[in-house]
Amino acid sequence: MYVVRTIAALRNHTALWRATGARVGLVPTMGALHDGHLALVRAARAECERVVVTIFVNPKQFAANEDLDAYPRREADDLAMLRVAGVGVVFMPGTAEIYPPGFTTTVRVAGLTDCLCGAHRRGHFDGVATVVTKLLLQSLPDAAYFGEKDYQQLLVVRRLTRDLDIPVRIEGVPTVRERDGLALSSRNAYLSPNERRIAPNLARVLRRIAAELTQEPGAVARAIGRGLADLESAGFEVEYLEIREAATLAPVTTTVTGPARVFAAVHLGRTRLIDNLPVAPAP
C-alpha cells in the first residue's frame, strides 16, 4: 500500500493502473475510520482491481462554529486498517495541496442542497461538492463509493457527476450500524458514556416511523409528531425530522406514495448525529 500526499504522485499510480486495464475504485473519507468506511472499501474491492482511499478533513465543508479543529485524526490507526483491507493507494493531502493560495472555485449543486443538512449547515454541501469534484478529477476512477448514512451527500455527488459529465459511476453503500442500531460515525467518539446509551434511540425512532408508514402511508403527520416527542423525551435536541422522496428529496408531508426516506439530525450534548432509513408503502 502506497501512502501519497501529492496529486502528482496519486496520478502516477492511477495512470499506471489504468494503462494495465485495471478498474479503479475511489473511497473518499475524512479519516478516523470505522467499519462503515471499510464497507465502502469492501464494495470498491468487489468491483475494482485497485482501490484509492482519500483521507482529507476538508475545511470547506465545516462552518466557522463547527468541529473542524476537534474532528478526530487517527492517521496511524487508519493506515493500519486500510493495509489489512487491501487498499492500493491512500491519498492524504495537506490543505495547501487541495486549496493552494489563490483557489477561488466553488462547485454548487442547487435545489438538492436547500433542505435537510443543507438548510442547517450553511455552505456545507458547496464544500463537499467542491472537494469531491476535485478528488474525482484527480484520481479519474471507474466508480466512487459513498455511504447511505449521508444520503443527501450521495444524491448531491450523483447530481454533480451527471451535470458536469464526469465519467464515473457513483455507488451507494448501506449504513453500517452498531449492534444496538447506532449508525457508525467518526463523531460517535465525542459521546460520553451516558450519551452513548441514549444515542441508539435515534435509529429506534426512525425504525418505528418507517414501520408505521409502511402500514399506514397516510399517517405522515402523526408519525412525525410522535417521533419528535419520542426523540425529545429520549434527550435529543431535534434539528429536523422529515419524510422526503428518496430520488428527489421533495417533502412528503401527508401520504407516502412511492420510495421515500425518513431523515433526522439531532444534537446530543455537543455532538450532532444524523441518520436516515428507507420508507416504502406496503405493495
Cα 140 to chain centroid distance, Å, stands at: 20
Question: Which one of the spans 18-26, 31-39, 217-225, 239-247 is the region binding ligand AMP (CB under 6 A)?
Answer: 31-39
Question: Which one of the spans 17-25, 68-76, 84-92, 169-177 is the region binding ligand AMP (CB under 6 A)?
Answer: 169-177
* 14, 25, 26, 37: residue in contact with ligand AMP (rule CB under 6 A): 37
Look at residues 254, 256, 257, 260 and name the one whose alpha carbon lies nearest to residue 278: 260
Residue in the block written with cell 492500493 = 88
34 part of the active site: no
Size of the site for ligand AMP (CB under 6 A): 17
**Least gap, CB of 253 to ligand AMP (angstroms):** 27
* Bridge partners, residue 170, by sequence: 144
* 10, 30, 143, 268: residue in contact with ligand AMP (rule CB under 6 A): 30
**Least gap, CB of 142 to ligand AMP (angstroms):** 17
- Whether residue 260 contacts residue 246, with contact meaning beta carbons closer than 8 Å, is answered with yes
Work out whether 149 is an interface residue with ligand AMP (CB under 6 A): yes
Work out whether 146 is an interface residue with ligand AMP (CB under 6 A): yes
Nearer to ligand AMP, 212 or 275 (CB): 275
Work out whether 130 is an interface residue with ligand AMP (CB under 6 A): no
* 26, 112, 176, 224: residue in contact with ligand AMP (rule CB under 6 A): 176
Sequence letter at residue 193: P
Considering the candidates 13, 34, 37, 267, report the single residue annotated as catalytic.
37
Residue 236, C-beta contacts closer than 8 angstroms, at least 6 positions apart:
198, 201, 202, 266, 267, 268, 273
- Whether residue 54 contacts residue 91, with contact meaning beta carbons closer than 8 Å, is answered with yes
Work out whether 29 is an interface residue with ligand AMP (CB under 6 A): yes
Q: What is the distance between the alpha carbons of residues 256 and 220, in angstroms, rounded to a whole number? A: 7
Binding residues for ligand AMP restricted to 178-197, rule: CB under 6 A: 183-186
H or E element at residue 264: strand 260-268
- Whether residue 133 contacts residue 160, with contact meaning beta carbons closer than 8 Å, is answered with yes
**Least gap, CB of 28 to ligand AMP (angstroms):** 6
- Whether residue 52 contacts residue 24, with contact meaning beta carbons closer than 8 Å, is answered with yes
The residues annotated as belonging to the active site are 37
Residues engaged in binding ligand AMP (CB under 6 A) = 29-30, 36-37, 39-40, 146-147, 149-150, 173, 175-176, 183-186
